[in-house]
Structures are given as structure tokens and as C-alpha cells.
Structure 1
């Protein structure tokens, strides 16, 4: 289709120059706008189309809404994970509660009393054993009981020391890493949720809505096409002899079919390579048939002009 279009434009150009050799040379083309295709990131059902095709839209306008029920559940789960990780991190930062420390101190006091009792009992049994009033087994049991109570006291003291010292630095860093990971997952899930609401990324005209209300879209397919920009630009093919005379920023006259007076436009881009090359050798005569694609931006006062209308640009 592109090749056929180019050949038609060349034929029209040659026809115009042949019919009136005294008329000004024209670069032929049409009015165009940049096409912004907004694609689907998930296979969901279209639940709302709030803007009609052909309407003017501004950046941020909601164009298509996909079903977000499942994704909202994923965001809720991610929020819960963040809350859990936050609570665990703050718990480690604060350390043990005063009530827990007080309970640990009470256990130490109780263990001390038990050790004192066990020590007194052991001494009593040992004295009786010297007088053969207690057996060797009774003495061994008293010694084992004293040693067990002493070990319990040391365990209670170490538990109290751990609570008073607070959480280990490694545990705090581990909890912080878990919290950051949970927050990153939340950001990802929130981004997927936001992507289910298709918004215009630039001002322009809503040209096409390929999917109907209630259809399940396919991932990667375009959901809305926006023709960006206020005014269109003329995309024309500049003949080779005029390429060196045109630079970016030059002001040229643009003739639009259906409008009597020409419009001043500014060259915003011109190709450094020809749009096509003949298959035969390029001698001086054949080089003149080369065409260079160029874009001439029209002023904002031409915003109402539709895309696709034929246009001609006067060559300098």
C-alpha cells in the first residue's frame, strides 16, 4: 500500500508539472497527526467506555476501563503483607515490653529462692549423711536438685538479659528488608491496577476504540488510538532538486484541499534519506525523481482540520 501511494503521488506530481510548467513546484502529501496506541496489559473485560470516538480528549482522561476486581484483591493482599511486615519491624525496634521484663525479673527472683532452698536442703542431707542418718542416694538426689535449680536460675538470668538488651541488629535489618520487599510488591500490584484504567497520555482526538463494551481483550492489543496534538502536520514528499533548499524551521506555504488561502507551516522534520530508490542507475535525470519525506507543522489555528486530507506544500 505504501509503494502504491508513493507511485500515485509521483504520478500526480509529474502530471501537475507537465500540465503547467510555469506553476510553482509542489510537494504532495496529506495532513496527518501522530497516532498514539494505548495497549492492554491484561486479559480483562471492558466494563466502561466513557468517551465517544472522535471526541477531543486531554491528558489523563479515562478512555477505557477494564474489570479490576481480581487486581484489587491482589492489592489488598499486598497491603496486608506490608502491614504485617511493618508491625514486625516496629516490634523489633521497640524491643521487649516493660511487662515482659518485669515477668523475667520475677522468674529470676523465684529461681534464686529455689536455689537457696535447694542449697540448704543439700547441706542438711550432707550433714545427715556424715552421721549415717541419710543414704548416699538421698545425697545424690539433693545434689542433682541443687544443680538443676542453679541451671534454671542461670537460664532465667540470660532470658532477662536478652529482653533488656533488645533485638539483635541482624534481626532488625532482616525485618527491614522484608518490609521493603513487601512495599515493592505493593507498588507493582498498584501499577497493574492503574494499568487497567486506560488514560490519554497526550491531548488529542480519540480516533478509534477497537473493542466493544463487554468484550474480553487480549493482552498487548490496542484499546484506544489517540491522534495527538492540536493541529495536524503535512506529511509530504519533497522532490530531490529542492532537498538542499529546505531546512528544519523553514516556513513554507501549505495548500489544503477545500481551503482557498494557503497556510503558513514550519518544517519540523525532513529525512536525510530518500523515501525510495529506483532500481536503475542514478544518473542526473533519474536523481531528480527521488523523494524525501518531510513534515510541515501547521499552526494551532488549524486544529479543526481533519487528518487524511490531501495537501500540497510550495517549494522554495
Structure 2
């Protein structure tokens, strides 16, 4: 903000000193500043690109220690495999061996019930002739009821195997698998974030952290000045604002270059950047400034950022009379 105020101050002084140059907007060459941040607190293990180098989209800028995250991904993969196996088992149903074993259990329970039923009947007949005790009769009855319950249980288990998995259980198994797949995707994304790559073509301007340092989560680890060519960030005086729109071609003079450059307006503000815009008289309105960005052609890619630039504005008839 201080730089912008200084630019505007110089611009106003420039206008006051020379009426011949009223149609010039002052500013500097800039590039989009892309800050690549760390998502976790980890140690920097590799800085393959030196600061100041040109990079393209996808170039690896910084690598962070990923051993712990790789273990998390391996665990998530195992959980997915387990959930998939559970779902497959639910779809496939019981094996023939399991069904055969269940049928054998039913047969055994039926035999035990027949034996206990006969024992109870014999004890019941003996009690009438006082040849056995009441306790023996009670034990025989309890044993028969126990075997009857066992038979009922084995029959239900056999029916469960024959009828297959319930729809609700299948839905639960599918939901568990989907949840584990989502967790795996999340862990893999965290792993990929530990390898920080350029999101746009540009120049690697700064590497704030050194190799071996543990970065803090959320802090910038690589700064890229994006774009093949810079743009001129200038302030447009209020009288010229209505005559300039996005896409217009304007002449740009860069300090140190004798030949002017033709650029295109890629953006211009719709509200003043500074100076109160309310209750201004006609003379004061001329002090309003509108921030604009003039894109330079690709053949100016070697121009550094921060170089002063002057943009020639279209002449406005009658401006000197205001």
C-alpha cells in the first residue's frame, strides 16, 4: 500500500510539473505472486530448483519428508482390502463345506433330542411305579428341553447359510468399503501435497526455508512469479478512466529500453484505489486514481519485476479546460 501511495504521489507531482505529459500513467512491472504453502509441519528433504530459475507447471519445487504419510497410505490401503474382502464374502454367501457342517450339526441335535425325549418318557413311566425319583424325572425333562433348544438354534444357523446375507448387511459392507476408499483418497492427497510443484509457468523467486528445516503448517515454502511476461501495474487518473476498457492496446515505456512496447489492458478497477471519492468538487475529482494492469507480450519475458514503467493514455479532448 505504501508503494502505491508513493507512486500516486509521484504521478501527481509529475502532472503538476508538465502539462505535456498529462496522458501518462506511472507504475512498475509486476508478475502474479504465487505462494506455495506447506499443508503439514515436516522437514524439507529436497530443493531441486534454485531460486531465480524459470519453471513450468508441474516442476517439483520442494519435497517434504513423507515417510510417516506413506505409512498412513499403506494402512488405508489395507483397510480398503479388508472391507472389499468382507463385501465379497457377503455377496458370495456360505461355502458348501459350511452348509454341510451346519446340516451335520442339525442331525446331531436331532439325535440328541430323540435320545433325551426317550429318557424323559422312560423316567415318566418309572415314576408312576415309584421305581425312580422325582429328581431324575426333572433332570430328564431339563435335558430334553435343552436339546430341543439346541436343535432350533442349529436349524436357524442352517437357514441363515442357505438364505444368504441380508440386504441390510450388504448395505453396511458397501458403506464401510466406500468410507475406506474415501479415507485412502484423502491420505494419498496428503502424500502428494508433500511434493510441492509449480502450479503455473514462471520464475522461482524465493525459497524461504532451507534444506533440513522443519517448516510450519501454512507457511510459504516457495514463491513463484507466474506468467511468461510481466504486466505494468499503473494508476489511471479519473479523467481517463471512462476511455479505457479491458482489451485496449496501450503503449508502455520501460526504463532502460529505448523502444516502447505495445501492451493490452487485462484488468482495470471499477472503484478508486485511494483518495476519498465522496463530496469531491470538479477539480478534486481529477485526483482519483484507478488501478490497472497492462499485459506485455511474451517476448518481454526477460524483463525483471519492479522496473518503473510509463503507460501512454489516450488523449481526452478538453481535458486541459477542466
- Cα distance change, pair 12–53 in 1 and its aligned pair in 2 (3 A): farther
Q: 1:113 to 1:184 in 2, by over 3 A?
A: same
1:245 counterpart SS class: coil
* TM-score, length-scaled by structure 1: 0.89
Alignment of 1:9 with 2:11, yes or no, is yes
Residues 131 and 33 from structure 1, CA distance in 2 versus in 1: closer, same or farther, beyond 3 angstroms? same
- What's 2:103 paired with? 105
Q: Which moved more, 1:225-234 or 1:121-130?
A: 121-130
For residues 106-150 of structure 1, the C-alpha deviation after alignment (integer angstroms, 9 at most, x for no partner) is 111222223333344444555555666555555544444333333
Structure 2 CA distance for aligned equivalents of residues 261 and 93 of structure 1: 76
SS, match of residue 80 in structure 1: helix
* CA deviation after TM superposition for structure 1 residue 280, in Å: 10
| Number of residue pairs the alignment of both structures matches | 312
Residue of structure 2 equivalent to 1:148: 146
Aligned twin of 1:57: 55
Superposed CA deviations along residues 240-267 of structure 1, whole A, max 9, x for unmatched, are 2211221111111111112222111111
Q: Distance in 2 between matches of 1:273 and 1:136?
A: 105
| In 1, Cα distance between equivalents of 2:127 and 2:273 | 115
8 Å Cα contact 1:13/1:28 also seen in 2: no
Structure 1: gaps spanning 5 or more residues: none
Q: 1-side partners of 2:145 and 2:216: how far apart?
A: 74
SS in 1 for 2:62: strand
Name the SS for the 1:284 alignment partner: coil
In 2, distance between residues paired with 1:158 and 1:300? 78
1:211, CA displacement in angstroms?
0.8
Q: Gapped runs of 5+ residues in structure 2?
A: 315-322
Q: Which residue does 1:255 correspond to in 2?
A: 253
2:301 alignment counterpart: 303
CA contact (8 A) 1:233 1:297 kept: yes
Of 31, 34, 46, 1:33 maps to 31
- Aligned partner (choices 191, 194, 199) of residue 193 of structure 1: 191
Call closer, same or farther: CA 1:174–1:259 in 2, change over 3 Å. same
Tell me the SS of whatever aligns to 2:266. Answer: strand
Report the 3-state secondary structure (helix = DSSP H, G, I; strand = E; otherwise coil) of the residue aligned with 1:29. strand
Residues 138-168 of structure 1: CA deviation (Å, up to 9, x unaligned): 5544444333333322222111111112222
Report SS of the residue matched to 2:211. Answer: coil
Query: Any conservation in 1 of the 2:15–2:22 contact (CA below 8 Å)?
Result: no
